[in-house]
Chains A and B, each alone.
Chain A
Amino acid sequence: MVSTAVTIAKSPYLQEDPGAGIFRVHRSVYRDPSIFDAERERIWGRAWLYLGHASEVPEPGDFKLRTIGGRELVFLRDVHGRVRAFLNACPHRGTAVCREPAGNAKRLRCFYHAWTFDTEGRLVSLPSPEAYPVGDAFRERLGLRPVARLEVLHDFVFISYATSGPDLDSYLGEAADYIGLVADHSDTGMRVVPGEQRYSSRANWKLGVENAMDGYHFAPSHVTFLEYLKRTGFTTSEGGRGRILSNGHVLGIQSGHSGRAGFDWEPRFGEAERSRIEENRARLFARMDAERAALIADYSRTLFMFPNLLLFDIEGVSIRLLEPVEPGLTRISAFALAPRDEPPEALDVRLKVLTSFIGPGGLATPDDLEAQEGIQRAIASTATDPRPGVDWNDVSRGMASEAAGEPLRSIDEGRVRAFWRHWATMMEEPEE
């Protein structure tokens, strides 16, 4: 079912007139520091945010430092096996408790005055405790500060800095089903493969969202990648659908766009993979109904979960995390997700195929970065132009067919509009 309900955006930064086929985004949303600060509060302070995959901290005591929504967190698995996230600022006088990017620890000790916390965040020892008020209340008050809420869905770990608001299930809505499809790639579970691609773009985070949700740029921007695929003997098919989900989450669906590691052979996977893929497909179809198995094996999907997760279920599975640093600077992390039991030769093919496209060294992503950084740089030139309409981006492609209730095409900009409508809602709602 394709959602055709269109809410007219009410925002000083959006202009929408479906009858006239107008949808514009004011360029200050990419530049203005006061909008960036407001986003920190209204979006990043209230939404559910993707933190990481539980397989990144597989053993009790495993931890990773990760900055989400501008706050540095210790993402860890406690000694009882539960995944947790704490603000990395010491409850005493605020220095960074954890200074290693990753590791394993039974205790976290702040070096400044040697307060020591267990993996559940309790303050378990401090030098000369007799100098503090007698009793446990003091210690209990000064444990590591956990994030307000944390929930795990199919090993995808989400956090929220808001103490109230919808729970994760109602926040995700149907987006949860698409995360479920990825989790179902293997009956042995999925894991993040070592090797986080950490990079950044000198561009606003929302340009990263727009780029991933816009199939329009694909052919002109990635012509060298398409030529490479063609030379390997693979013909890409045109077409692809978009879906608008709830809460600003959107989805792109394609078939025959590329092969799929483990499920759908293409020539550059190599002959050896052909029979393994056949077996793997048979295994998949044997453990679930054919309709679901076909959804998993034959379709590529890109899910955007508002505001910081892009889940590419394409040639391979790539998790992309967007982290705004400044209006014109975004930190990006890309993780490869693979079946736990995937044999090394198959994993080799998966990583090669994924990296050929994705990341700052791929044959395609650098062109996306070029486009986004170019926007960030170039829109300074229209910022003070007095003429109406000059300092606006046009995002109207496909509005006519959208209004006629036709299914969304991935080469239209309907998903980008859905993102902006939700962004405007989040930004305009009065604070709770």
Chain B
Amino acid sequence: MMEDVTERPIALDAVTRTDVEDFLYEEAALLSGWRWDDWLALFVPGARYEIPTFDGEAYSGRVAQYFIADDWDLLQARIIRMKSKQAHAENPPSHTSRLLGNVRHWPTDDGAVAVRANFVVHRMRDGLLDPYVGRYEHELVVSDGGLRFRLRRAVLLTESVRPGTRLSFIL
């Protein structure tokens, strides 16, 4: 999946929680600032973006229907859409406030960093304020440019995508 990136082997104790937090906070700022190209640069080619369904969470995106199961092609298509004036669901764009906490990380067997963090994302649009509550289950790799996503997964814990809300922005 990651043949085309230069990776340096992870020194397991080299990545600190502050590194992970800085990465996540910076990412949140890019998303709230609608800075799609900078955001996409946080991924290694071949990476995935996923939001599981509530009863599909126990399965992989390959045997369960997810809300979002973007491979690299689809993720790029999603970003092209986000930038379009014709992505009606996000034009005008919604505003988000993103709170992250309970950040933990550990090395995986195949040389990545598993990240867990809780999120509360508030989305404002059409005079409404909608909370999205859940946790991130990311896999990061270390590249020359710093930490990068090879899997970005947001797991919603709200039992359903709450009344009137949708996933037309990046959660």
Q: What residues of chain B lie closer than 8 Å to A351, measured between beta carbons? A: 61-62, 64-66, 69
- Quick one: given A336-B65, A347-B62, A360-B166, are A198 and B54 in contact (CB under 8 Å)? yes
- Quick one: given A268-B73, A351-B69, A367-B89, are A194 and B162 in contact (CB under 8 Å)? no
Q: Are A367 and B87 closer than 8 Å at their CB atoms? A: yes
Any chain A CB within 8 A of the CB of B68? yes
Any chain B CB within 8 A of the CB of A104? no
Interface size on B, residues (CB 8 A): 41
Query: What are the interface flags for A177-218 relative to B under an 8 Å C-beta threshold, 1 for contact and 0 otherwise?
Result: 000000000000000011111111110000000000000000
Q: Are A196 and B54 closer than 8 Å at their CB atoms? A: yes
Any chain B CB within 8 A of the CB of A397? no
Question: Smallest Cβ distance from A57 to chain B, in angstroms?
Answer: 13
The residue of chain A having its C-beta at the shortest distance from the C-beta of B170 within the complex is A361
Question: Smallest Cβ distance from A380 to chain B, in angstroms?
Answer: 12
- Quick one: given A200-B161, A351-B69, A361-B51, are A194 and B63 in contact (CB under 8 Å)? yes
Q: Are B167 and A366 closer than 8 Å at their CB atoms? A: yes
Stretch of A163-171, A221-229, A276-284 lying at the B interface: A221-229
Other-chain residue from B68, B86, B87, B163 in contact with A355 (beta carbon distance below 8 A): B68
Q: Are A221 and B55 closer than 8 Å at their CB atoms? A: no
Query: What are the interface flags for B142-163 relative to A under an 8 Å C-beta threshold, 1 for contact and 0 otherwise?
Result: 0000000000000000011111
Q: What is the CA–CA distance of A4 and B42 in the complex, to the nearest angstrom?
A: 57
Segment 302-355 of A: residues with Cβ below 8 Å from B: 325, 329, 331, 334-336, 344, 347-348, 351-352, 354-355
Any chain A CB within 8 A of the CB of B97? no
Q: What is the CA–CA distance of A179 and B24 in the complex, to the nearest angstrom?
A: 47
Query: What are the interface flags for B113-136 relative to A under an 8 Å C-beta threshold, 1 for contact and 0 otherwise?
Result: 000000000000010000000000
Known: A102-B55, A221-B88, A355-B67. 5 other contacts (CB 8 A): A197-B67, A200-B161, A348-B61, A355-B66, A363-B81
Nearest first, the 5 A-B pairs at minimum CB distance are A195-B56, A195-B65, A366-B89, A202-B164, A361-B167
Interface positions of A (Cβ within 8 A of B): 101-102, 193-202, 221, 223-225, 227-228, 231-232, 268, 325, 329, 331, 334-336, 344, 347-348, 351-352, 354-356, 359-361, 363, 365-367, 369-371, 373, 377
